[in-house]
Structures are given as C-alpha cells and as structure tokens.
Structure 1
Amino acid sequence: MEREDILQKALNGDIQAFQTLFSAFQNQLKSYLYRLLTDRNDVDDLTHDTFIRAFDKISTFNQESSLKTWVFKIATNLAYEHLRKLKRWPVDAQDQGAMLAIGTPPISESFRVVHQTFNAAAYEMKEHIDFCFTCISKTLPIENQVALILKDIYDFPVKEICLIIDKSEGVVKHLLKDSRDTMTTVFDHRCALVNKNGVCDQCSQLNGIFNPKQDQQEQRMKLELVKESKKFNRSELYELRTQLVKAIDPLRSTGADLQDIIMRCTRTAIGDVDDFFAAPMSKSDL
C-alpha cells in the first residue's frame, strides 16, 4: 500500500495505519527523547503519551510538515513539561556522578554486575563520548538543547525545527550558534581526550575499569576525534563529536545498559533522582 493511502487511512481514524507510520520513526523518536530525559522509563511513558496524543489529534494534522516533524513537536512539548520540573545540569555533573560511585561501593558494584551480565553492556570509549555529549547538552536551556540535538544529531532542517519549537528562523539560528559555542567551549576545557589540560578523562578511566586487558592509549588512538585533536580546531572537533554521536543509538548500542546505569548515577548525584536504588528500574537494570 502506498504511503499516501496509509496516511489517508490514519487521517480517517485507522489506528493500525497510524501505527505503521509512527513505527517508521519510533526508534529515532525514543533515542531523541532519551537524550533529553536520560531515563528509559520516562522515555517509554512519553513515547506512549506521544502516540496517544498524536492519534487523538490526527485530524488537526494539516500536512504543512512531515508527519514525523508533527509528531516530534508533540513529543518535544511533552518533554518540555517534564523537564521544566528539573534544574539544568551543572557542567561538572559527570564529576559528581563519578564521586558518588567512588564513594558508594554498592553503586560501583552495580556497574560491574551490569557490565558482566547484560549483552548491551560492553564498554567503548566512543559510547562514553556520546554520554558526555548528552550530559553537556543538558547544561543548556531546554530550547537550546532541543534545537541543537534536532539539527546536529538528527539532521532536521532549520525550517522544521522552527515548527517543532514554534520559533522564527532567526531565533532558531541564534539558538544553534549559541548552543554550539557553549558546547565547544565546555568541551575545550573539559575533555582530556583532546586537550591535555582537560579535567575529564572518564573515557580512559572507565576503559581501565571495564576492559583492564585493553590498552587505553591504543583505544584512544582509534578515535578519529583523538587523531584530529592535534590540529585543535575547536569547531572541527565539535563536528567530529556530532558525527560520532549520530552513529550511536543510546538505547540500542553495545554499551547501552552500562551507560544507562552510569547516567542514573549522574542523575542521583545532581539531585534529579533522590536515591539511586529507589529509582524505577527499566527491564534491563538490576
């Protein structure tokens, strides 16, 4: 059946037709929401709520944009409602998470158990760079974070981002420039992979913990980001990071389970979660 026919059925209230269209971008939607929310359970809830709200309002879809853009707008609004209850993350959120893990043996042990138990708990430095990108993006105002992720990670055109966040093209371009400048500056001061003065070298540290037989420097040098860092063009390094992050689905990558539990620790350390062990566990967690 042609897509136009399926869309017409969905517009006429056929939920199976709508499910067919929704499923075409559902994984990307969930990945996007995870980068905003950093909690699998919240992602599942908001994805479900997005589906229900979009289907309920399908008669209002005027086809001025793609269905995907229209659904992402609904999901983004739901994410806004959730995120407005929380504070923006501090730049040192990862450091706080690391200190909590170091000072709390049961949390450290939970990392090791997940790493040893689940198939999606392999450690690779590139996955931690994705984790780091998410953490730093959460230091931005919500609209900046959304605009940045939609454009630089999911390749939405500026005009579609305007529709999603209900801002003019000029405002969106300003949000993107401001966000990239902020991210680049933070990475410049924090990332020890590319700057010997950087304060964050968790990629190598975690590699040493979870892959003790693996040579850290060898793994570092496999990353294009590290190879190019000698040139130290800050904007080019930011683009290399985004290219790496684009290639990783944080919910389905080889290290998704391990990164998720590290993310939970970070959220606990900064106060998004009251108690690491009291936080709702997703099906892959302990």
Structure 2
Amino acid sequence: MENDNTLKLAINGDINAFQKLFADFQPQLKSYLYRIVTDRNDADDLTHDTFVKAFDKISTFKGDASLKTWVFTIATRLAYDHQKRLKRWLPDAQDKSKALALSDSTVYDAINHVSHSIGKGAYNMKEHIDFCFTCISKTLPIEQQVALILKDIYDFSVKEICMILDLSLGVVKHLLINARKTMTNIFEHRCALINKNGVCHQCSELNGLHNPKQNQQEALMKLELVKAAKKSNRAELYKLRTKLVKGIDPLHTQGADLQDVIMKCTRKAIGEIQTLN
C-alpha cells in the first residue's frame, strides 16, 4: 500500500517519491549496466541518465509492467545507444589482456598497485569467474547479451524481457537459446575449470599471482562448478556458472577494484580504450 501511494506521488511529479522507488533497484540496475558497458564511469552516467529520463517520462507509466521493468527498458535503450560505436568482443579478449599485462610494464605495475592497495584489491577466484562471464557475454550480439543477462543473472521473466526489448515471445526465446548455446560452447572449449583441455587458466593463474597464500587446489575444490565438472553435462555446468555469477555484484566485492583494472587492461588490449586511467 505504501509503495502504491509512493508511486502515485511519483507519477504526479514528486521527485522524492520517485527517488525512493528508484533506490530499491538502483544497485541492481547499475551492476546490470556495468555488465553491458564494462566501465564504471559509463555505468554511473547511464544510471543517472536513466533516472533523469525515467522521471521526465514518469507520467507516461501505465503500469503494464512493474516500475522496475519499465526503468530497465529505458536503461537498456540508453545502453544500446552507447554500445553502437563499439565492436563485439572475440572469445580471445582475455588472452590478449594477459599478453598485454606481461609485455607492458606500465599495465602490469598498475594491476599490481591495485592488488596491493588497501580497499577492494583482494583477489578472489569466484569474482574472476564472474569477470570472465561478463567478458564472454560481450561476444554475443547485443540483444542476445541483454536477454541472457536479464534472464539468467537478474531473473527477469521472458515476458518482462519481451517488454524491455520490444520483441515477441518467440524471438526472445530464440535469443536465449542461441546465447546460451554460444556461451556454453565457448566455456567448454576455453575454460580449464570444466575441461582439462581448456586453453584458459586465467582465474587460477591470477590466484597464484595476487593471492599466493591461498592454496589454489583448495580454492578450486570449493567451487561447485569445479566439483561438478566431471559428472555434469554442459547445460548443468552453465547453470552452476550463472548461479555463481548471480551471487556477485561486480561493483561491490572485496576485489572490485582489482577486477576493474583487469577489465580496463582487457579493453585496452582489444583497442577499446587507450589508457587505464
């Protein structure tokens, strides 16, 4: 009842009422935008722009969907516009990031500086698996990426995603099937955690560099994803990965600053940005 009254006030132009409602899902919205654009400042700017545009248009809100879904629709369109000038990532983006860090002392030192700083520079393998999921999702066409993240990470229903993307039920289901297939294929061939022939050991290697006191094998065996690798099928392993990712807010973890500078290294390695600053 209180939320109904607050919504009525917001629709009538009460910015404090709207701010109260927006605050309920703002952290989730910002982390969602970060997963799409992979830049903290851009995620902050897009969250602010979403608030401004949503409040400006609040009188048009008809209640056909929840306010959260309606706001995510606005945010997604803004993120689309932002991403238009950027290319999709290739599955080897993290390989290029590793090569850059090892060949460029400035980049390597920047990562080490964050790792040894007081604050959010701690290394955690789970957080890097989340980082990896974000990177691999950026290999998808934007609509597949958005549909996948909304459904598998933020638990929006297919019907809500149809509203956000302004697409039919059949199209959204098709986007999800293709997105999951692509993600599963990439992980199966690249990830050493689930396939001994996988070419990518980055989360384990970084654990050794930035968390040397942690027994690497012990850390690995605590991960449900690793324990299930030999006995689970591809679909089950994908679900375990998304379960892990769901529990992580990439902007507010013990190693958020470290993962962010590694993300910047990746973006620099593929030519998306020129410097880590």
TM-score category of the 2 structures, normalised to the smaller one: over 0.9
List per-residue Cα deviations over 1:256-281 (Å, max 9, x = no partner).
110000000000111110233xx4xx
Partner of 1:147: 147
Partner of 2:167: 167
Between the aligned partners of 1:130 and 1:21, the Cα distance in structure 2 is: 28
Counterpart amino acid of residue 116 in structure 1: H
Q: 5+ residue gaps in structure 2?
A: none
Secondary structure of 1:90's partner? coil
Matched, 1:100 2:110: no
Secondary structure of 2:48's partner? helix
The ranges of structure 1 where at least 4 consecutive aligned residues each deviate by more than 6 angstroms after the TM superposition are none
Matched, 1:134 2:134: yes
Partner of 1:284: none
Counterpart amino acid of residue 175 in structure 1: L
Between the aligned partners of 2:196 and 2:153, the Cα distance in structure 1 is: 27
Partner of 2:245: 245
Secondary structure of 2:213's partner? coil
Aligned CA RMSD, in angstroms, stands at: 0.9
Counterpart amino acid of residue 256 in structure 1: A
Between the aligned partners of 2:208 and 2:105, the Cα distance in structure 1 is: 18
- 1:52-131 to 2 correspondences below 5 Å: 52-131=52-131
Between the aligned partners of 1:29 and 1:117, the Cα distance in structure 2 is: 28
CA drift at 1:212: 1.4
Between the aligned partners of 1:199 and 1:172, the Cα distance in structure 2 is: 32
Contact 1:194 1:229 in 2 (8 A): yes
- 1:130-279 to 2 correspondences below 5 Å: 130-276=130-276, 279=277
List per-residue Cα deviations over 1:152-185 (Å, max 9, x = no partner).
0000000000000000000000000000000000
CA drift at 1:225: 0.4
Between the aligned partners of 1:104 and 1:192, the Cα distance in structure 2 is: 26
- Normalising by structure 1, we get a TM-score of 0.95
Between the aligned partners of 2:199 and 2:229, the Cα distance in structure 1 is: 16
Q: 5+ residue gaps in structure 1?
A: 280-286
Between the aligned partners of 1:111 and 1:96, the Cα distance in structure 2 is: 15
Residues 97 and 26 from structure 1, CA distance in 2 versus in 1: closer, same or farther, beyond 3 angstroms? same
Partner of 2:38: 38
Between the aligned partners of 1:118 and 1:197, the Cα distance in structure 2 is: 37
Counterpart amino acid of residue 144 in structure 1: Q
Contact 1:120 1:256 in 2 (8 A): yes
Partner of 1:283: none
List per-residue Cα deviations over 1:6-57 (Å, max 9, x = no partner).
0000000000000000000000000000000000000010000000000000
Q: Percent identity?
A: 66
Between the aligned partners of 1:219 and 1:13, the Cα distance in structure 2 is: 51
Residues 118 and 81 from structure 1, CA distance in 2 versus in 1: closer, same or farther, beyond 3 angstroms? farther
Counterpart amino acid of residue 249 in structure 2: D
Between the aligned partners of 2:17 and 2:213, the Cα distance in structure 1 is: 51
CA drift at 1:213: 2.1
Counterpart amino acid of residue 15 in structure 2: I
Contact 1:118 1:257 in 2 (8 A): no
Counterpart amino acid of residue 38 in structure 1: T
